[in-house]
Structure 1
């Protein structure tokens, strides 16, 4: 999955070992990922249904990432949407989410879910996401601290 040849960034569904290390560093930039360790990130990548990495062509650096856990029919949950802090505000997050929402493997999925901070609602509403206030509510059981 590649972008236009003149685009300084390209999308990929596979990460090299050095890019997985870069992903670990990108995750550690996030408030929710400061304690994540490389071996867990490697396992996460191996067990993810679908992922998109945004790669800077000039140096093969991973600068953005998102992933999906899904059955490819009924439900798909988007996780870990992130752009390197030094490159935020340049439309790269839009490029990443647009590619994800239009990915051929997700076109038959009934519902796409994601969790985000309320200040990001407007960003995701561009693709039709909205806060869910239905009968069912998410529950969580913490099995280990991150």
Structure 2
């Protein structure tokens, strides 16, 4: 596999390409660039690069102490299946600013096996609740 570089520098993220790819995902359908801009600006973002070209993105919504929510993990379609997503997730989980966070969560409709490799389990303990509503 090509050498994958993970960067946490927001200025390196190709915002337009990332926003477009996320809008094509099953979870990002209906989002706008404005929503993505607010979300990215309020999150700890990471991007994957090969030879200087961005090929993936992920972000964590976090308080940097107790809780983090892993979301918008996406690899560009022509780069999937090469382990880039694993490197991106590991880099976020292991980043010094996030390594002490004890409670991580995420939502997925199709990548359970990927996240299980990192210790994520389906919540069946009756403690987690969810409110889903349309934004105002």
Scaled by the length of structure 1, what TM-score is found?
0.81
Match of 2:50?
Answer: 56
**Does residue 110 of the first structure (1) align with residue 105 of the second (2)?**
no
How many residues of Structure 1 are paired with residues of Structure 2 in the alignment? 135
Deviation of 1:111 after TM superposition, in Å, equals 0.9
Which SS does the other structure have where 2:90 is aligned?
A: helix
Given candidates 5, 28, 44, the residue that maps to 1:10 is 5
23-32 or 133-142, which moves further after superposition? 133-142
2-side partners of 1:90 and 1:17: how far apart?
22
1: CA distance, partners of 2:30 / 2:12:
20
Structure 1 residue 129, shift from structure 2 partner: 0.8
Q: Based on CA coordinates, which of the two structures has the bigger radius of gyration?
A: 1
Q: Distance in 2 between matches of 1:26 and 1:16?
A: 18
- Give the direction of change, closer, same or farther, for the CA distance of 1:61–1:38 in structure 2 (3 Å limit): farther
Relative to structure 1, is the Cα distance of residues 40 and 17 closer, same or farther in structure 2, using a 3 angstrom cutoff? farther
Residue ranges of structure 2 left out of the alignment (5+ in a row)? none
Is residue 26 of structure 1 aligned with residue 21 of structure 2? yes
| C-alpha RMSD over aligned residues | 2.0
In the alignment, what sits opposite 2:120?
Answer: 129
Q: CA deviation at 1:15?
A: 3.2
Ranges in structure 1 where 5+ consecutive residues have no aligned partner: 1-5
The 1:137/1:101 distance shift into structure 2, 3 A limit, reads same
